[in-house]
Amino acid sequence: MPDAASDLSDLSAPAVELRGVSKVYVEGAARRTVFEEVDLTIRRGEFVVVLGRSGSGKSTLLNLISGIDLASSGSVRVLGREVEELGEEERTLLRREHIGFVFQFFNLIPTLSLVENLLLPLELKGRLDAAGRARARELLSEVGLAGREASFPDRLSGGEQQRAALARALVQDPELVLADEPTGNLDEENAATVLALVERLLRPTGKTLVVVTHSSEWLALADRVLEVHEGRLFEREKASRP
C-alpha cells in the first residue's frame, strides 16, 4: 500500500479544498463554534491572504489545512488527499514532506545555528546530503544571511530571524506554504523586506501560499483576499495586480 502522505499524483486537484467544514471546540459545558459550513477552494500556485481580527479563527484555518487539527464535520482535502482519512502519523508525514510553515514568532530552535535550523527539516525527511546542505546555504544567501550560517538565532534581529524562518520553510521544497502572521512582529521596513522575498522566492516556483494576517500590507501580494467573520469565509474584491 503506498504511503498516503506521498501519494499525491493527482496534480489536477486543487491545493486546498474545504467542503461544508465546521469546527466546534467543547470547553467544559460550553461549545464554541469557530467555523460553520465553510467552503473554500485554493488552486495550485495561488497566493491567498486571509484577513480577520484576533481570535476570529485564522490560525484554526491553517491548523485544519495542515491536519494539526481535524474538522468537526465536513471535508478537508490538501494536495488531493482527504485529511480526515489520514492517521496521525500520515498527517505528520504530509506536513513534513509537502508543507512549509512560517510563524509570527519565528520558531527557530535557539540551540541550533541558522544552518542547523535549515538542515533539521531535511534530516527529518532523510535528505541530509550534500545537495541538501548546498540548498540550505543557498537559501540563507537568498534571504540576505550569507556568512551568518554559524550564528545562533538570539544573535539576529527580528527581521533576520524571520528571513531565516522563511528559508527554513522553503528548504524542503514544499508544494504548499502556510504563514501565520509572518510580519506581525516586524517593523514596516523589515515587513516590506519579507514581503519582497516571498514574492521573489515563491511566485516563480508555482508554490501555493496561504497567509493569515490582520495586516493590510499583504494585500498587494495576494491573488485573492478572504476574510473570516463570525465563523464564515467571505471573498473580498481586490484591485488587479499591475
> Looking up cell 498587494, which residue turns up?
220
26 SS3 class: strand
Bigger pLDDT: 64 or 31? 64
- Dihedral pair phi/psi, residue 190, rounded to 5°: -70, -35
Whether the predicted pLDDT of 89 surpasses 50: yes
Q: What CA–CA distance (Å, rounded) separates 138 from 226?
A: 34
Domains by residue range for the chain, with CATH = 43-72+85-236 (3.40.50.300)
Confidence of residue 11 (pLDDT cuts 50, 70, 90): low
Taking only the tens place, the pLDDT of each residue in 105-127 is: 888 999 999 999 999 988 888 77
Q: Tell me, what DSSP letter sits at residue 149?
A: T
Q: Give the per-residue pLDDT at 177.
A: 95
Q: Give the per-residue pLDDT at 239.
A: 55
Question: In this structure, are residues 59 and 212 in contact, taking their beta carbons and an 8 Å threshold?
Answer: yes
Bigger pLDDT: 186 or 17? 17
- Mean pLDDT (the chain) is 88
Whether the predicted pLDDT of 224 surpasses 60: yes
